[in-house]
Amino acid sequence: MSEAVQQEPRVLPYVMAINEGVREVLKEQDNSFVAGEDVAGAGGVYGYYTGLLNDFGPERIYDTPISEKGIMGLGVGASATGCRPIIDLMFMDFIGECMDEIANQMAKMRFMFGGGAKLPVTVLTMAGAGQNLAAQHSQSLEAWLAHLPGIKVCCPSDAYDAKGMTIAAARDDNPVFVVFNKASLAMSMEVPEGPYEVPLGKAAVRRSGKDLTIVAISRMVHEAMSAADKLADSGLDVEVIDARSVSPFDTETVVSSIKKTHRALIVHEAVKFGGFGGEIAAQIQEEAFDYLDAPIMRVGAPFCPVPFSPALEQIYMPNADAIVAKVKETLEL
């Protein structure tokens, strides 16, 4: 009898994991469709809708006019009347063009109709700097959305979560924004075939430790892991938590970690001032104040627009070295 051939792990880049997630949703839900700018013929500005037009046809993969307000209104109306749309918002920066549809319709309609109207609309969008796209195409604005009751917001940090959260979002009967990161698109990892969910509102402990807890959002998880490796060389044992969702936020997992490590550092790519890190810090203070042995610290971008200059952009973006320095400051090393 011949020995069974051991299969190599199935590895996909982040961008193709998104494609698979959308594909699984379209196969599973006959009343789902994709609508957005350049999603059909071009496959999306970053290519994560590639091949969907050929496989599902123009009745389910729509190129829309260049009108974010119209696209988001389409998503609200279609979801309220029985469809499960996947709306592509090319860049997160463009939510300003359609904020009335998001804040005053999408977020509130189910509540205002006493639950009589469901809005199972999924919005996929791109955030983050690092690609020299300047101030109007490089922002991380998850805190804007997280402030709106009625909307769920998740920020997958890797390919596995990008696929699983896309599917989970599309199965949810509430509006969900899945915020991808541009600089993560080429990052690859093992991703299973077929449909699976990554639960919304559940954080993941990416690395266990005892000296300090780092809570990171989106691509900053990778910077935090790199920082943890560097700190380990100095004998420091740091825990890294991937927030994954900012609304709902998994306070329980973070608080459990703080009770063990007694110190917290929050890291996000968004501007530090007014960023979601302030909300995380407040929740830690409310739920775990007696366990803290040091002030809660934050690492975020400076309070200025994202520079166009590649050299300045790299200085602007938080990185592992900045995290290492802040950890040592917190530990008074």
pLDDT in tens, 62-116: 999 999 999 999 999 999 999 999 999 999 999 999 999 999 999 999 999 999 9
Q: Evaluate if residue 8 carries a pLDDT over 90.
A: no
35 within a domain of the structure (yes/no): yes
H/E run at residue 42: none
What is the rounded CA–CA span in Å between residue 327 and residue 114?
47
pLDDT of amino acid 3: 56
What is the rounded CA–CA span in Å between residue 229 and residue 187?
19
Q: Are residues 134 and 248 in the same domain?
A: no
Q: Which candidate, 257, 271, 331, places its Cα nearest to that of 299?
A: 271
pLDDT of amino acid 42: 96
pTM of the full structure: 0.96
User: pLDDT confidence of 4, banded at 50, 70, 90?
Assistant: low
pLDDT of amino acid 5: 64
Range of the domain at 101: 11-190
The residues facing 88 across adjacent strands are 124
Least confident of 3-17, 212-226, 259-273: 3-17
Q: Decide: 47 and 90 in contact? Cβ < 8 Å.
A: no
Q: Are residues 262 and 169 in the same domain?
A: no
CB within 8 A of 8, min separation 6: which ones?
none
Among the candidates 152, 167, 190, a domain finishes at 190
Q: Are residues 243 and 290 in the same domain?
A: yes
What is the rounded CA–CA span in Å between residue 164 and residue 195?
8
What is the rounded CA–CA span in Å between residue 312 and residue 300?
15
Q: How far is CA 45 from CA 37, 118, 222, in A?
A: 8, 30, 24
1 within a domain of the structure (yes/no): no
Q: Where are the alpha helices (DSSP H) in the chain?
A: 14-28, 52-56, 68-80, 99-100, 109-112, 142-146, 159-171, 220-232, 251-261, 276-288, 310-316, 320-330
Angle at the Cα of 50 (from 47 to 53), degrees rounded to 5?
140
Among the candidates 190, 213, 233, a domain finishes at 190
Q: Are residues 208 and 186 in the same domain?
A: no
pLDDT of amino acid 1: 47
Q: Which candidate, 305, 126, 155, 153, places its Cα nearest to that of 216?
A: 155
At 25-39, the pLDDT tens digits run 999 999 999 999 999
Q: Are residues 209 and 182 in the same domain?
A: no
Q: Are residues 42 and 102 in the same domain?
A: yes
As annotated, the active-site residues are 68, 137
- What's 97's DSSP letter? G
Q: Evaluate if residue 223 carries a pLDDT over 60.
A: yes
At 44-75, the pLDDT tens digits run 999 999 999 999 999 999 999 999 999 999 99
159 within a domain of the structure (yes/no): yes
What is the rounded CA–CA span in Å between residue 181 and residue 23?
19
Q: Evaluate if residue 9 carries a pLDDT over 90.
A: no
User: pLDDT confidence of 180, banded at 50, 70, 90?
Assistant: very high
- What is the rounded average pLDDT of the residues 140-159? 98
pLDDT of amino acid 310: 95
> What are the φ and ψ backbone dihedral angles of 289, each rounded to 5 degrees?
-55, -45
The CATH code of the domain that includes 209 is: 3.40.50.920
Q: Decide: 244 and 268 in contact? Cβ < 8 Å.
A: no
What is the rounded CA–CA span in Å between residue 146 and residue 244?
13
User: pLDDT confidence of 7, banded at 50, 70, 90?
Assistant: confident
Among the candidates 139, 166, 190, a domain finishes at 190
Q: How far is CA 272 from CA 58, 239, 303, 312, 323, in A?
A: 42, 21, 7, 17, 13
Mean of the per-residue pLDDT values for the chain?
96
Q: Evaluate if residue 10 carries a pLDDT over 60.
A: yes
Is 147 exposed, middle or buried, given 0-12, 13-18 or 19+ CB atoms closer than 10 A? middle
250 SS3 class = coil
Q: Decide: 300 and 275 in contact? Cβ < 8 Å.
A: yes
